[in-house]
Structure 1
Amino acid sequence: MNSTTEEQHISVVRQRLAARFPTIDSGVINQAIDTAHHQFDGRPVRDFVPLLVERAALRSLTDDT
C-alpha cells in the first residue's frame, strides 16, 4: 500500500512550481495551486488530482507571465 497522500503530492507540486518560477511570489503560486485543487473537491477518484492540479496551475502561471 502506498502511504503517500494527496496532500504530500500537492506539496511536491508546490515545490516543483516554486523552483520552475523563482521570480513569481509564492503566494501567487499557492493561489494557482489552491484554485486548481478546489476544482476537484467532491470528486470520488483522487488518483490523478495532483497531476491535474499541477497542469492547471502551470497553465495559470504561464498565462499570467
Structure 2
Amino acid sequence: DRALFNDLEHVCDDCYNLYRTSYVASACRSNCYSNLVFRQCMDDLLMMDEFDQYARKVQM
C-alpha cells in the first residue's frame, strides 16, 4: 500500500529533520518500521494518538 508507505516515510523523514542524524534516518525504518526508534519519533513529533493505527497497519 503506497499510501501507508508514504505515511511511514513521512514520520521518519520528519524525525530525521528534527535530529539530523543518519542513525535516526536508518533506525526509524528498520524492521519494517516496527521498532522503538519509530515509536519514539512518533512521540517526539506529537503523533502518539495515531501510533496504534500505524502499528496495526504495519503488522498486516
Larger relative helix fraction: 2
Asked which structure has the greater CA Rg, the reply is 1
TM over 0.5: no
User: Of the two structures, which has the highest relative contact order with CA contacts closer than 8 Å and spacing of 6 or more?
Assistant: 1
TM range (shorter): 0.3 to 0.5
